[in-house]
A = this chain, B = another copy of it.
Amino acid sequence: MSLAVGVDVGGTKIAAAVVDESGTILQRDRRPSSAQDPDAIIDTVASMVADLARAHPVEAVGLACAGFVDHVGGRIRFAPNISWRDMPVAEPVSQQVGLPVTLENDANAAAWGEFVFGPARDVSDMVFVTVGTGLGGGVVIQGRLLRGAYGIGAEIGHICVVPDGHRCGCGNRGCWEAYGSGTALVREARDLVASGSPRAQALREACAGHAEQLTGPDVSAAAANGDAASIELVADVGRWLGIGAADVAAILDPEMFVIGGGVADTGNLLLEPAVTAYRRQLTGRGHRPEAAFTLAGLGNDAGVIGAAALALASPYP
């Protein structure tokens, strides 16, 4: 059975794994990332791959990285969290490890993992939405990854859902990400605590009164424990998730939305309001089949598994 190494390069850590053709992980590695030193990251990645390749008959390497990716040229155009600017990545790693290396956007790689081995394994058109700090995604159309003419497609978190709305990490205002993400969840929760409202009691205790220290997992945990205000806050994120998904569906008409990322750990607290809002907002509702909403299946491994699967795919999807 063919094996590949999948690598997920993040701003703070690098995860790598040997993955087989069935999506099973045989061995893992994880090291800190040196986001400010572009060459050091290349060396770390190559070293991790080399170590894993010594232990397994690996045929190929798949790299997943946040940012605008030129997957044909194996270059990063621009990475938000790593100091890579228009930098060749596939080639230098390949030279160090002596294996073919493919490069893909991390959300695309995760989407591909969910598409091949996760809940979307039986559909041909799907949208993966990761609701974490940001709102990212990957799109599969008729079994092929949507990349766009310049490799910057599927930046779904940056459609504008509220003109002149909250500032987004991309610099614009009103992006879907500014409403349907963990960042939005934390912003609204901190605002609620800071307002002095008695409804924020559980959240206030969770952060010992320091609103600015409140985290997304704090809110998720409070919601899971039945705190009414936190359940509403998660539901608000879910509602925006559904509203934006209706925009995406107007363009893409997918068969399935696969929802991953840290906020998705709240499960139905997020998903049910999302589906309700989606059904209320979808254009042509009543005259069309509606996409299913499903929680992602591969968790944090989606990136490495998807990257490995892409490395083994031929032709490249």
Contacts and interface: CB of A to CB of B under 8 A. Distances in A.
B125 A284 contact: no
Interface in A147-170: 147-163, 167-170
Given A160-B246, A246-B160, A251-B155, A68 B288 contact: yes
A205 to B, nearest CB: 12
A251 B250 contact: no
A34 interface: no
B199 A146 contact: no
A73 interface: no
A196 interface: yes
State the copy count for this chain: 4
Contacts of A146: 141, 251-252
A216 B153 CA distance: 34
Report whether over half of chain A's contact residues are helix, strand or loop; otherwise say mixed: loop
Contacts of A284: 68, 78, 152, 155, 158, 170, 198-199
Interface of A: 68, 77-78, 80, 123-125, 139, 141-142, 144, 146-163, 167-172, 175, 191-192, 194-200, 228-229, 232, 243, 246-248, 250-255, 280-281, 283-289, 291
Given A146-B252, A168-B197, A171-B229, 10 more contacts: A148-B254, A150-B288, A153-B252, A155-B251, A167-B194, A170-B283, A171-B200, A175-B283, A199-B287, A229-B286
